[in-house]
Chain A
Amino acid sequence: MDWSWLPEYLPRFAEGLWLTLQLLFWSILIGMSLAIPIGLVQVTGPRPLAWLARAFTTVIRGTPLLIQLWLIYYGVGSLFPSIPGIRESFLWPVLRDAFPYAVLAFSLSVAGYEGEIMRGAFRGVPKGELEAARAIGMSPFQVLRRVWLPRALQNTFPTLTGEFILTLKATPLAATITVFEVYGIGSIVRQETYKIYEPLLFVAAIYLCLTGILVLGFRYLENRIPKQSRS
């Protein structure tokens, strides 16, 4: 196997890795911020909002992420010419770069899948605990912040971390909309050197390491969270 190309491309792989990590970080942050209300509203109501949340998670989970990505980048992009003055607006630097679209698509995906998980998580918190919190005089918001949400997150933490790893595995799709993260750089190497296996194996190895680090990190966090005792 020929690895002579590696030293030349290593800096670009570092850049790609940084992009991957940024994608992962922002998608999880924004996605979870959306997932929590989406899951919560399906348990508490009101009905119309709950129905909307349900429709959202169904659509996100029922369509491939690649199609969602293309729809958001190329589909929305194709609407730009019909909006006059858009290039002069202050939003233009954000609208013209591909990275925000990737973050948007991945965030919506995280919101959809994790919203479904949060729904089950909120349901799974024993009602007795919530009632007790109300009984000692906490406002509904305080109950949410101090009891319901932490409990829900505790219970589903292993599942959530599994899903975050799946989000990492979805990041290569960003390369199809010109965001050159690790896999994208690997593609560039493949095209410029015509090598078939070496770049792919290198990229696979990078992901193996990344996943390993994330799994270890999450397991460490898991051990620090007190588990819900079986009552």
Chain B
Amino acid sequence: MKLKSILGTVAALALTATAATAEIKIGFAAEAYPPFTAKNAAGEWEGFEVDLKNALCAAMEEECVVVDVAWDGIIPALLAGKIDAIVASMSITAERMETINFSDKYYNTPAVLVAPKSMDIGPDSLAGKIVGVQVSTIHQNYAEKHFDGTEIKTYSTFDEHNQDLTAGRVDAVVGDSIAFADYLASAPDMEVKAELNDEEVFGPGVGVGMRKEDTELAAKFNAAIKQIREDGTYDAIGKKFFDFDIYGG
């Protein structure tokens, strides 16, 4: 009787799981990152990367399904096969390239240091201060490499360190200039202190993350990115959200 019930449970499990068909599972970071990905009040994803994903999948003529994964588990999820591609504003870095593969970049924006207007600090005067960064990001790498004598607090989402900046628990934060736009608009007493540059840490830009063995998928994504850049789709999407070319130099 017990064996039957075990088999029955496995069969039930099999029914509930969806077979991995030819569709591509795109991993979004579960925590929103406006204006690239954000959940609206109806529970749907919207944003630059959402439209970009739709355009890329149309260009590749593939069916794509979005899977939400917590940002700090998104690369393991890719390696474990839960998702096939990461479209979550993930920067192309040498460190990540050791484990995963990237497509060509699809946007590049600078990183900035943000702090209260009332504080007169910059990237060189952070000794003894507390800086907030999102975990597992190029911003964390930059802060750890350049800010000596500074306490670096890591947060699992972009939003949380901004929250603590407002609350005053951190003195400054490092993050993507565009992602800050939303926050700075709602926090008038904060400002961008400096733009940060380090080619080695920041890499060429943001790309689609894939498993190393999926070379075919990478080729498809690269072709799709090229196509939408050439036929104007990329610019059309960019114009919806930004008044400058986000592709970067």
Contacts and interface: CB of A to CB of B under 8 A. Distances in A.
Whether chains A and B associate is yes
B163 A191 contact: no
A179 to B, nearest CB: 10
Interface stretch (A17-25, A39-47, A73-81): A73-81
Nearest to B187: A81
B9 interface: no
B229 interface: no
A176 B135 CA distance: 12
Contacts, number: 49
Interface residues of A, number: 22
Interface stretch (B21-29, B46-54, B73-81, B195-203): B73-81
A202 to B, nearest CB: 16
A196 interface: yes
Interface stretch (B33-41, B57-65, B153-161, B236-244): B153-161
B92 to A, nearest CB: 16
A191 B95 CA distance: 12
B79 A196 contact: yes
A146 interface: no
Given A191-B72, A191-B136, A77 B167 contact: yes
Given A77-B167, A96-B168, 18 more contacts: A74-B163, A77-B163, A78-B163, A80-B167, A81-B167, A81-B168, A87-B168, A95-B169, A176-B156, A190-B72, A190-B73, A190-B76, A191-B135, A194-B75, A194-B76, A195-B76, A196-B79, A196-B80
Interface of A: 74, 77-78, 80-81, 86-87, 92, 95-98, 176, 178, 187-188, 190-192, 194-196
